[in-house]
Structure 1
Amino acid sequence: MISVSLPTVSVGSNIFFALALCLISVFVLFILRRFLTLRATPAYLLVPIFLALALPASVVLLVPIDLASSSRDGSGAKAIWLPDRVVLVCWRIAYWLIFVMTWAILPLLGEYVDSGYREPKARIMYSLRSNARYQMIVLACATVGLIYVSISNGFDFTSIKGLVMALAYVWGLVLAIYLMGHGLVAIPRNLFRNANASGRLRRIQVQAPKIHDRLMDAVNELESLNAQVSQLQQRKTGTARDFQEWIEDLSESPGASDVRAPILESSETSGTIPSVITERYLADLTRRLQRARHMKARFVDEWDRLVQSASDVQAIINSAASKKLDFGTAPRRSSYFPRVKFLTPYIRYHLYSNVIPTLRLAFGAFFAVVSGCIVWSELIKSLAPQVSAVTLTVVPNWKDEKPVGFGSQVAASAWLLYMCSAALVGVNDVKVWGNRALVRRNTYGESACWYASLVARLTVPIAYNFLTFLPKDFRRGTTFYEFLGKLINLTPLGKGFDFIFPIFILLPICATLFNLYGRIKKIFGFDLEDDLDDIESNPAGYGMGGWREGRDLIERELNGFGSLAVSSRGARSTWASDRSDDDSHGSSRLRVPAAEGSRSPRPTQTQRPMTAPQVIDGEDEEEENFFQSFAHRVRNTFETTNTPQWFENARLPRWMSGDNTNAEEGESRGSLEAALSLVACDWANSLRVLLEYLHIRCLGLRCWTV
């Protein structure tokens, strides 16, 4: 009897792999729908962005499958595995598509969208010119490396391919280590910070002045460019007549008119247009106009979410007294369960006040341990990789040559997913990328291409760096190492670089942990500050950009007097800092929002009548400095004060009493009495205002010294 051994067939694994790819595609579509308008985005832009996100996501799936496929024995493995040839083809497709997308297609598409020209040919030429300098630098480096590799190893196709892959890997690894080091600290730290509602509200208030100033700058910039378009529309002769259709398209495009008027109205804001209108000038104006519109949409979205978050957090704080939480009827953006109907106010209070903060603390502690394990694995992998945390959780029995199981695959996917998430958090937190940003349903096309290329550029170096955590004998048997690792180690540029350089992950970790970005910002003026540094340097919140100014700006917005005029969010003030100390019922008093740029003084027991602000037509109110604001408060005190009661009840001397038979002498003495009364009243109120100011300054100095 002859026994025939049939080859093991991975039918179940093939089905799982196909379903996983479909789920990844659906997930990527949901992400694109969140940040882009799918129907309005052209296909030549949507398809490359989709591939640039779906292919890196599939790498997180391919690495565990490669580990199980390379370690299986002849009887198969109890995990998701594929034949070696299929795994190699998948790696080739994923890597080279990501490479082409990152270094060629997405940079050209980004400049093509941002060109400002109308004709496709002009857009392509502008994109090629814009990328020529960058591509020439890359080509020069590649030429120098090719000469060196040809002299050392000979001129063959394998050496050239190894040089290209090593250059791409080194650049991606440098960027990935820096961003991942920042994210490994930022993820648990943000969870710990957000567990405290009061601290979270204070950080939101610190962010408010910066975002509000940028919003106002974006509005003014857009209005200035719209004014230039209006001037172009008024020209009916000369060279402007040749581009009349282009000018009309600029004036009719979305965002040309806005209900928000600019803050500054001067002849300089509108700008001047040249006498001769050229295609290059109109393309530059179109490009600036597109950037200004998306810049305004970005800060409008950030300001709206910040105000909504502040309102929700303040509602959570105020519900501590009544044990009932109600966010209102407005749609929530920052709440976790916006449409859940079965939550009563009492259950919602315990959910947001007790359950969610506890979960944040638990996840923060868990992710802190995970971050520490990754850093430990980076430091120990060159000396003893068998004791790294990744090895102990993924392949603890690698010496026994046992195949990788399904549990080890899940652990490998979790490690790799957390490392990629930390790098993406670093991309979002370290805002040194210019004006690029992700906006909900309104992301600029150039920004979308840049973020997609950055995600694609980071994934493969992080995946190979994760593979270096494993023992050398085990990782050399994987298909990924056969495809990428050998070519990287072929050149002196990549040989040993992936083992030595990741030690420098301690630099971004220490910079984020000890807030070196805030110190660098103060020295050089870069926008790398941290909110914690602003709170520590100014705990009292006085001065421009303090949390008190942010509190006033947010309150004005909630009352319907702010930049967005959100009148539907309710007009009652709910700030906990405005409550009186002896109020045990948790009620809040209604405050009139202060003018922009002024500081709200400490509440006093004397209630003064408040006058409505005057509106001056054709003239905008300028922002006041500290001395002007103090002088206005003193003037308002003198104008609205009443005669003190102790002065009215005081007994006057005989020479000031007006009991004289001489009418003329009595009239003069009465005038003297009124004058002295007014002078004494003014001096008394001036002394009280001065003492109040000194009390405020002493409190601020004491908070600063503490």
Structure 2
Amino acid sequence: MALALLLMNIAATAVFTTTLCYYYGGWKKRHKVATLVAFISWWLPALLLTLLPVDIATTFYRSCILSNPNISLTQTSGVVEGPRCKPPLFHTDPAVFLLIWHVVYWGSQFLTWVLIPLIRSYATAGDFTALGKLKTALLDHVFYNASYFVIFMGALIYLIASRIVSFEFRYLKVLLITTGNTWGLFLVIIFFGYGLVAVPRSLWLAGNPVASLHQAYFCLSKRNMELNDEEDKLKELNLQIIEIKNRLPANHPLQPFVLTVFKQTQERKSVLGASCDPIGTPVATVDISNLSVKTLARMHRSLKATQQRCARALDLYNDAVQSALWIEDVNIARGKCFSPTFLREHSDSLNGVIQNFAPYLSTIMLRIRWYWYCYLRLWLLRVLALLLALTSLLMVWSECTFSVRSPTLSLVAGLLNAEAKQRDYLLVEVSSFLALGYLSFAVFYTVFHLRIFNYYRLVGNHHTDENSLLFCGGLACRLAPSLCLNFLGLAHLDSHLSQTTLTIPLSRIDSTAQPSTTIETTYTRFMGHLDIIPFIAKGFNVYFPILVVLLCLCTYFQLLTRLLHQMGIAELMDSPGYKLSVSGDSIVDDVIQDGRLLLRKERLLRSQARRIQSSTKVDIDKVQVNGHPPKSDRCPQIACRYHSQPNVRV
């Protein structure tokens, strides 16, 4: 039973990761090997985070068994039976957990440090042969890991010279794990500080119709500017390639490579539309005297990246228009009596089926949806935001007090200990899963909303490139082990951090085992402790809570956003929670006004296109009835532009 549930857990995380990876990356347009590696790098951290609560409940169960001398141990099936200690639902043998932790951790580290950097460079390389791409990937990989190797060797030499650690394999293994987890722990602190505040704040603002509308205007204007910038870059790059093709002699040795790059520009023209056509753009002068294969490879690499960004910006603009239209319609409907017109305009296929087969039920559903979107949903989002804000406060309190031994101030540790005393290990699993799940959601909310210029950005609807997918996978492989260690500290299950243990009588210790009166999770036994590096362990209990609180305060008061705003940079203003001013003279107000005008033009174009489509349909019906051709077989200019180019921008 336990093994079947374990396999179900593994399969469920695989299905969840597959769905998430498909939503962001897709399978058809991306490199198959890169997509597979990205899936594995997302799946292993998910497996680690979902199995740790089972390990925690199993640890409490083993403590119950070993602390009660009236219970006999059975080692036949790996499950210890006892009349007073009922095993948890997902109970698994510690040896199985130890094997899983070895596979998951070292597999994720191999992906992070070896495979992911290689495939990232290979997928984005502009070389024209597989061997050339592999050579470029290997060179990038050497430069990528050289700095980390120098830092690790310097720390190792210092620790051995100071006689802090001895030159033994077990010490080196723990040192290697600790060094990686220390860097991951600092990233976890940063993402905690943002995610624990941003998650409830985003829900609160989603429940505020006016703030949501202003944010939609701002986002639309930003997406329009991004799309214009990417189109200009792509036009300039296309012009350079066309000029090189025209000026290079037909019998030149580089002509096949130029044709390969030129073919890339023609293949994506149908996807990007006429907006990226270089016609009408000033011709740039290109020096072909120094042209080489490496130059063309760099140009090919830049072309692929620019085309990907342009297509992504196009879809982001479409999504921003749809979202802004919906939010504006909801705000207009809130100021009126029941008027489901906007719901009919945004109806889906299910509503059409209901309208055809059950018209009365369709009217009732429209009324329910109208009250839901205009009132009930907004209040529900605010209530949920308050609950998550309270949860974030409790998590911050636990982060600040997990090192206190007596009394137990960490709420996570107090809750798990209380449930363990009642010997309700299923509740221990559920509580651990919910607490760790919220912390993981806060951390990965930051990861999924993070944007590092044009290098890393996750965009839904299959518009995330291979580099961003793999970068996110490598980041998840670094964060998940450190996040688990942090949670064990909150639960007082890492004795070297909290100075608390699950004690058992000396008479119950196995004579063949090492003399210890503590029981720790299998994950802690495998990972070791942070105190192998003294200068990290001594200050950990001090700087960790301070950094968490400071980062949460900086996120709440948006100090970085305000600083950028004072510098005239509006890049981060579309992040949830910015207090939009109404003075009329700020950068944000100008961007919001521009977004409002853009949406007005888009709404006008779409309404005209609908009228043209309806009139065209009427003309076709007249032809079918009377046999005469319509008066005009061409649509007006504005409608033709709308149909040929979905995004008409200012």
Q: Shorter-chain TM-score: which interval?
A: 0.7 to 0.9
Mapped partners of 1:570, 1:200: distance in 2: 30
Partner of 1:161: 173
Deviates more, 1:144-153 or 1:196-205: 144-153
2:285 is the alignment partner of 1:267: no
Q: After the TM superposition, which residues 331-346 of structure 1 pair with which residues of structure 2 at under 5 Å, given as runs?
A: 342=362, 344-346=365-367
**SS at 2:490's partner residue?**
coil
Aligned to 2:32: 43
Determine the C-alpha separation between the residues in 1 that align with 2:609 and 2:199: 34
Shift of 1:274: 2.3
CA drift of 1:117 comes to 1.0
TM-score by length of 2: 0.79
Task: Determine helix, strand or coil for the equivalent of 1:238.
Answer: coil
Q: For 1:289 and 1:336, how far apart are their aligned partners in 2?
A: 41
- Other structure's SS at 1:473 match: coil
Kindly report which structure 2 residues correspond to 1:568-579, keeping only aligned pairs within 5 A, or say none: none
- DSSP 3-state at the match of 1:82: coil
Partner residue of 1:295 out of 304, 309, 317: 309
Alignment of 1:286 with 2:306, yes or no, is: no
Match of 2:599, as an amino acid? I
Summarize the alignment of residues 574-589 of structure 1 with structure 2, pairs less than 5 Å apart: none
How far did 1:462 drift? 0.9
Specify the alignment match of 1:426 in structure 2: 446
Out of 524, 527, 539, the residue aligned to residue 481 of structure 1 is 524
Partner residue of 2:584?
540
- Alpha-carbon spacing, 1:240–1:276, altered in 2? closer, same or farther (3 Å): farther
Identify if the C-alpha distance between structure 1 residues 567 and 409 changes in structure 2 by more than 3 Å, giving closer, same or farther: farther
Residues 212-291 of structure 1: matches in 2 within 5 Å? 212-234=224-246, 235=248, 236-255=250-269, 258-260=273-275, 265-267=280-282, 270=284, 272-291=286-305
Give the direction of change, closer, same or farther, for the CA distance of 1:271–1:203 in structure 2 (3 Å limit). farther
TM-superposed CA distance for 1:537, in Å, is: 4.2
- Alpha-carbon distance in 1 for matches of 2:392, 2:167: 43
For structure 2, the residue ranges without an aligned partner over 5 or more in a row are 66-79, 356-361, 493-499, 503-517, 613-637, 642-648
Q: Select the residue among 534, 538, 544 that pairs with 1:502.
A: 544
CA separation of 1:123 and 1:491: change in aligned 2, threshold 3 A: same
Change (3 A) 1:415 1:340: farther
The answer to whether residue 573 in structure 2 is matched with residue 559 in structure 1 is: no
In 2, Cα distance between the equivalents of 1:196 and 1:338? Answer: 30
Measured in 1, the distance between the counterparts of 2:21 and 2:346 equals: 22
CA-CA distance at 1:245 after TM superposition? 4.4
Matches within 5 A, 1:77-92: 77-92=87-102
Deviation for aligned residue 1:37 = 2.5
State the shift of 1:104 in Å: 1.7
Aligned to 2:15: 26
Deviations 1:346-367 (A, max 9, x none): 2111010122112101110110
Alignment deviations for residues 88-122 of structure 1 (CA, whole Å, 9 cap, x no partner): 11111111111111122112211111111121221
Q: Distance in 2 between matches of 1:388 and 1:508?
A: 20
- 5+ residue gaps, structure 1: 1-11, 572-611, 616-622, 625-706
Q: Does 1:468 align with 2:460?
A: no
Amino acid at match of 1:545: D
SS of the aligned residue for 1:81 comes to coil
Equivalent residue in structure 1 for 2:194, among 166, 182, 186: 182
Conserved? CA contact 1:49–1:448, under 8 Å: yes
- Aligned mates of 1:120, 1:280 — CA distance in 2: 14
Q: Is the 1:295–1:435 Cα contact (8 Å) retained in structure 2?
A: no
- 1:149 Cα deviation after fit: 2.6
Asked whether the equivalents of residues 394 and 411 of structure 1 are also in contact (C-alpha less than 8 Å), the reply is: yes
Match of 2:496 in 1: none
Q: Over residues 58-93 of structure 1, what are the superposed CA-to-partner deviations in whole Å (9 max), with x where a residue is unaligned? A: 112211111122222242513311001001111111
2:332 pairs with 301, 318, 340, which one? 318
Candidates 473, 482, 490, aligned match of 2:532 = 490
How far apart are 1:339 and its partner, in Å? 9.0
Question: Counterparts of 1:329-408 in structure 2 under 5 Å?
Answer: 342=362, 344-384=365-405, 386-396=408-418, 400=421, 403=423, 405-408=425-428
Count of aligned pairs between the two proteins: 555
Say which one has the larger Rg. 1
Of residues 270-279 and 498-507 in structure 1, the stretch that sits farther from structure 2 once superposed is 270-279
**Structure 1 residue 205: deviation in Å?**
1.1
Greater shift after overlay, 36-45 or 283-292? 36-45
Q: Name the aligned partner's letter for residue 548 of structure 1.
A: Q
> Is 1:308 paired with 2:322?
yes
Q: Aligned partner of 2:242: which letter? A: S
CA deviation string 1:289-342 (max 9, x = no partner): 111111112222221111111111111122231313344667779x99999875
Is 2:545 the counterpart of 1:516?
A: no
Q: 1:261 to 1:32 in 2, by over 3 A?
A: closer
Question: Compared with structure 1, are the counterparts of its residues 291 and 242 closer, same or farther at alpha carbon in structure 2 (3 Å cutoff)?
Answer: closer
Higher relative contact order (CA 8 A, sep 6+): 2
Q: Which segment drifts farther, 21-30 or 371-380?
A: 21-30
Q: Is 1:139 matched up with 2:149?
A: yes
TM-score (norm 1): 0.73
- Distance in 1 separating the partners of 2:259 and 2:576: 51
Report if the CA contact (8 A) 2:234-2:276 is conserved: no
Q: Please tell me whether the aligned partners of residues 449 and 458 of structure 2 are also in contact (alpha carbons under 8 angstroms).
A: no
Shift of 1:392: 2.8
Secondary structure at 1:116's aligned position in 2?
A: coil
Q: Is the 8 A contact 1:209 1:550 kept in 2?
A: yes
Percent identity, aligned pairs only, is 21
Residue 238 of structure 1: how far off its partner (Å): 2.8
Which whole-Å CA distance do the structure 1 matches of 2:453 and 2:433 have between them?
Answer: 29
Distance change (3 Å), C-alpha of 1:107 and 1:566: farther
Q: Residues 183 and 533 of structure 1: is their aligned pair in 2 closer, same or farther, counting only changes over 3 Å?
A: closer
CA apart distance, 1:43: 3.3
Counterparts in 2 of 1:392 and 1:265: CA distance versus 1, 3 Å? farther
Match of 2:213 in 1: 201
Q: Secondary structure, in 3 states, of the residue corresponding to 1:495? A: helix
> In the aligned structure 2, how far is the partner of 1:168 from the partner of 1:215?
39
For 2:594, the aligned partner's letter is: E
Partner-residue secondary structure (3-state), 1:155: coil
Q: Is the 8 A contact 2:119 2:137 kept in 1?
A: yes
1:127 and 2:137 matched? yes
Q: Structure 1 residues 313, 206: CA separation in 2 closer, same or farther (over 3 Å shift)?
A: same
Q: Which moved more, 1:46-55 or 1:231-240?
A: 231-240
Change in Cα spacing, 1:275 to 1:336, as seen in structure 2 (3 Å) is farther
For the Cα contact (< 8 Å) 2:198–2:576, is it kept in 1? Answer: no
1:192 and 2:204 correspond: yes
Q: Secondary structure at the match of 1:267?
A: coil
Alpha-carbon contact 1:517-1:529 (below 8 Å) kept: no
Q: Tell me, in whole angstroms, the C-alpha distance in 1 between the residues paired with 2:91 and 2:416.
A: 15
* 1:546 maps to amino acid: V
CA distance in 2, matches of 1:389, 1:302: 41
Q: Letter of the 1:63 partner, please give it.
A: L
CA distance in 2 between counterparts of 1:337 and 1:194 reads 25
Deviation at 1:185, TM superposition (A): 0.5
